[in-house]
């Protein structure tokens, strides 16, 4: 199920709570719009949380009049958690894709099944929905409190903490017959920023997530690199356009380290675009410039870079590197 320890889901959850509770009259149109852009299982989980606040019937009354959303899909999802679904529930359900029908009927079974029925007879995924405690109400604007829920209370996903990334990438400019693959293991101080500007859909961070890494290649002639790095500036963009929900980070970083054999000290700048496919997997594209001592005869070649310089220094330009990154955060 969609855990509120997932930052993106927590942001949407908070937006929905603010829309309901921040003003004297809930903004049901905004709630419907946010729910409409969510994956069906995540929407069903959030609707269960809304039910815990006592507002679900009010949302159900408004949903048929919502604009700019898939009203059929939204009403079916709401009906799955209502004690008494709408009279046209079955007809609406048949209009949805098979996977969404399954998700809705699984929740319907959970919420309506008699208590003595063993949970093993229900969908295991959706049994956890019923066990969700209702979220606490948001504090009034200007107060110092924060919203909590059963999942969020276990820890703030935005809090700075140590984590790890594992990446594999293909470098440009690798000579024919050589292996262009690299593998990188990184220990990162996740969510640590010197300064953050903005919140929610658009965030600009200064001195973002310092990290140390080791980069290796299966090509025995390629150098191993040990680096410490930090993003000088990082722009994080999150959008919710219905079925399209891009989550992109654009950054410019500085790095320093050594390559072996040698060791030879290096420094450089790197531009990166990262697209978060899920909370645990990202696609990245990078380009960078490194500075170091001159390349000497017999030194291992840097397969992915174009080298310039003279007998006093070397400049290596990596046109691009594309790869996949796996993110791990401690539970």
What does each of the 331 residues of the chain score in pLDDT, given as a tens digit?
445 677 888 888 888 988 888 777 889 999 999 999 988 888 888 888 888 888 889 999 999 999 989 999 999 899 888 878 888 888 888 888 888 888 887 776 544 444 444 444 444 444 444 444 444 444 444 444 433 333 333 333 467 889 999 998 877 666 666 677 888 999 999 889 999 898 767 889 999 999 999 988 776 666 778 899 999 999 998 876 655 677 899 999 999 998 877 788 889 999 999 998 887 899 999 999 988 888 777 666 666 678 787 778 888 888 888 999 998 888 7
Same domain for 146 and 208, yes or no, is: no
Task: Identify whether residues 125 and 273 lie together within a single domain.
Answer: no
Same domain as 96, residue 194: no
Residue 244 and residue 196 share a domain: yes
Decide: pTM greater than 0.75: no
Do 53 and 201 belong to one domain? no
CA distance 299 to 294: 10
Residue 1 lies in a domain: no
**Residue 2 included in any domain:** no
CA-atom Rg of the chain in angstroms: 25
Rounded CA-CA distance 273/55 in Å is 40
Containing domain of residue 245, as a range?
161-328
Question: What pLDDT does residue 148 have?
Answer: 38
Q: How many structural domains are present in the chain?
A: 2
In a domain, 48, yes or no: yes
- Do 51 and 93 belong to one domain? yes
276 and 196 housed in the same domain: yes
Pair 261, 245: CB distance under 8 Å? no
What end-to-end distance do the CA atoms of the chain give, in Å? Answer: 16
What is the per-residue pLDDT for 176?
67
Confidence at residue 81, expressed as pLDDT on a 0 to 100 scale: 83
Place of tokens 């390349």: 295
């Amino acid at each position: 199920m969609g855990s509120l320890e997932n930052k993106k889901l927590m942001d949407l959850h908070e937006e929905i709570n603010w829309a309901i509770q921040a003003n004297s009259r809930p903004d049901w149109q905004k709630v419907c719009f946010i729910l409409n852009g969510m994956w069906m299982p995540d929407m069903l989980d959030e609707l269960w949380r809304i039910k815990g606040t006592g507002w679900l019937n009010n949302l159900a009354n408004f949903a048929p009049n919502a604009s700019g959303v898939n009203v059929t899909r939204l009403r079916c999802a709401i009906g799955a958690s209502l004690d008494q679904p709408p009279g046209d529930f079955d007809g609406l359900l048949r209009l949805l894709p098979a996977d969404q029908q399954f998700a809705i009927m699984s929740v319907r079974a959970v919420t309506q099944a008699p208590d003595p029925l063993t949970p093993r007879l229900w969908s295991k995924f959706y049994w956890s929905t019923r066990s969700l405690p209702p979220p606490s109400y948001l504090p009034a604007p200007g107060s110092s409190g924060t919203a909590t829920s059963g999942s969020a209370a276990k820890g703030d996903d935005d809090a700075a903490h140590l984590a790890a990334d594992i990446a594999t990438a293909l470098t440009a400019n690798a000579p024919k017959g050589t292996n262009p693959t690299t593998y990188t293991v990184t220990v990162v101080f996740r969510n640590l920023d010197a300064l953050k500007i903005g919140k929610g859909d658009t965030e600009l961070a200064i001195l973002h997530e310092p990290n140390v890494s080791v980069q290796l290649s299966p090509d025995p002639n390629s150098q191993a690199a040990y680096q410490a790095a930090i993003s000088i500036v990082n722009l994080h963009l999150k959008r919710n356009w219905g079925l399209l929900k891009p989550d992109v980070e654009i950054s410019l970083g500085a790095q320093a380290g050594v390559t072996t054999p040698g060791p030879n000290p290096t420094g450089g700048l790197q531009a990166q675009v990262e697209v978060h496919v899920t909370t645990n997997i990202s696609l990245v594209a990078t380009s960078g410039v490194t500075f170091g001592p001159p390349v000497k005869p017999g030194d291992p070649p840097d397969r992915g870079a174009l080298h310039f310089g003279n007998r006093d220094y070397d400049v290596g330009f990596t046109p691009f590197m594309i790869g996949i990154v796996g993110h791990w955060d401690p539970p």
